[in-house]
Amino acid sequence: MGSSWKKTSLMELGVELIDCDHKTPKAVEKGVPYIGIPQMDRGKINFSANPRLISEDDFLKWTRKANPMYGDVILSRRCNSGETVYVPKESKFALGQNLVLLRPTGNRMHPEYLRWAVQGREWWNEVAKYLNPGAIFESLKCRDIPKFKIPEPPKSIQIKISKILSDIENKIELNSQINQTLEQMAQALFKSWFVDFDPVIDNALDAGNPIPNALAERAARRQAARASDDFQPLPDDVRQLFPSEFEDSELGWIPKGWGIKALKKLVDISSSKRIFSKEYQDKGIPFYRGKEISELSKGRRVQSDIFISEDRFNEFQDKYGVPKEGDILITSVGTIGNTYLVEKSDRFYFKDGNLTWIKAYHDLFIPHYFIEWFKSSHGKEIIESIKIGTTQQAITINSLNSIKILQANSSVHELFEEHVRSIFLKVRLNNTESNNLEDIRDTLLPKLISGELRLDSPEVEQAKSLLDGE
């Protein structure tokens, strides 16, 4: 291995092309995902990216012709022509318009190898060759796709290449699953303390204090939980931080002694200073918009394509301040409500109007509390209720300022910050590892697929040792 592999057409390799139905089924509130181009995300299907849901009857109709199976590759013919995603195990969905299935058949190709071969540079060369530039949208024709040629190593090498790349991908996926669990833990703690008031209900029940009728259902659930064999009560020193009574407020019953405050009483909310397009640079300090903050909110590394000068950044820093550790940025136009907690190592500026900036905590430094509030179902409902606009929705600084939010006593907030801060640290470490693994995968993939890199090369051995060390 070391020289380029021969290139063979998909047709010769036994890859079947299956086209989808060229119409769209009716959407329903609950049903089966109908996966389209917006759900294609870095080689994987993002089922959480709000796919259309369709009825079971329509699912059966739409999968008679193209029924996605594990090992298939989904190819987009339009918009992002040439992009592919891999059909995972135990998935159930129908295929949207402008997508086709590539299904390995026969003995010449290891099924998982196709997943990686359609991400190599040779694949994109073929896409560029067959794009139809005369159309309103650049597109690929079904009759041309089987002609695409990809490298064909011996099948034994295909298997080894696939294993190396899939092992890296599996570790990235494992980190993602761990992070989902960690984030669920943080949200569960927020809900228990600040929505369901579990510690307060425990104290009230033990003290024999009355529970308001509006909280009776929560109290009944808590009593049932306390009676279960696996119930783990909060330590006494933690429970003592919470009151044992409730009082009425403008937002309903809350723990006695806690308060309701407008967000503007807790933090400063603003945006950045205006940066004009003529000030954009090719290098310097990264300049983020909503899309970059949305990516950062998912734990992904971003590569900015817009910068401002170091001098301009320093001017803003001296006169007005720049994002610093603990500040929060919220996407405020288009995709609304994604939140990013600024880290100590961050050094960037951002676009006014697209993003809203939470900073300068007045009484308590509680960034993780605010992050979890925005993620909570109540927080999402509030953000939904203050959106304005029809063609392009937005939220304003004034509307955020007026949001009413629960404030506990300082001891409870400090303990919550301590717990969730440790969770966020674990999430960040996993994200850093995954980002590094993605870099390794993206470096190895084109070289392995093309035959440029040997399987026993130092780069491959280093990747193996990194995975074996876990």
**pLDDT tens per residue across span 109-130:** 998 999 999 999 999 999 999 9
- Cβ proximity of 69 and 103 under 8 Å: yes
| CA-based R_g, the chain, Å | 26
CA distance 383 to 405: 12
Q: Hunting for tokens 């009759």 — which residue is that?
A: 143
What pLDDT is recorded for position 468? 76
Query: Which string of b and e fits 232-258 if b means at least 16 CB within 10 Å?
Result: eebeeeebebbbbebeeeeeebbbeeb
What pLDDT is recorded for position 2? 47
What pLDDT is recorded for position 48? 87
Give the torsion sign (CA, 315, 316, 318, 323): negative
- Cβ proximity of 79 and 137 under 8 Å: yes
Helices (H) then strands (E): counts for the chain: 14, 22
What pLDDT is recorded for position 1? 45
Average model confidence (pLDDT) for the chain?
Answer: 93
pLDDT at 288 > cutoff 70: yes
> Comparing 204 with 454, which gets the higher pLDDT?
204
Give the residue-averaged pLDDT of 413-442: 95
Give the residue-averaged pLDDT of 412-425: 98
> Comparing 459 with 470, which gets the higher pLDDT?
459
pLDDT tier at 106, thresholds 50, 70, 90 = confident
pLDDT at 96 > cutoff 80: yes
pLDDT tier at 3, thresholds 50, 70, 90 = low
What pLDDT is recorded for position 469? 65
Give the residue-averaged pLDDT of 165-182: 95
Q: If 0-12 CB within 10 Å is exposed, 13-18 middle and 19+ buried, where does residue 296 land? A: buried
Q: If 0-12 CB within 10 Å is exposed, 13-18 middle and 19+ buried, where does residue 94 land? A: buried
Give the residue-averaged pLDDT of 274-291: 95
Pairing of strands 149-151, 285-288: unpaired
pLDDT at 199 > cutoff 90: yes
The CA–CA distances, whole Å, from 354 to 269, 385, 437 equal 14, 19, 31
The percent of residues above 90 in pLDDT, for the chain, comes to: 85
Give the residue-averaged pLDDT of 93-115: 93
Give the residue-averaged pLDDT of 321-334: 96
Full-model pTM: 0.89
The CA–CA distances, whole Å, from 347 to 134, 236, 322, 350, 426 equal 43, 42, 8, 10, 21
- Report the DSSP beta bridge partners of residue 86: 73
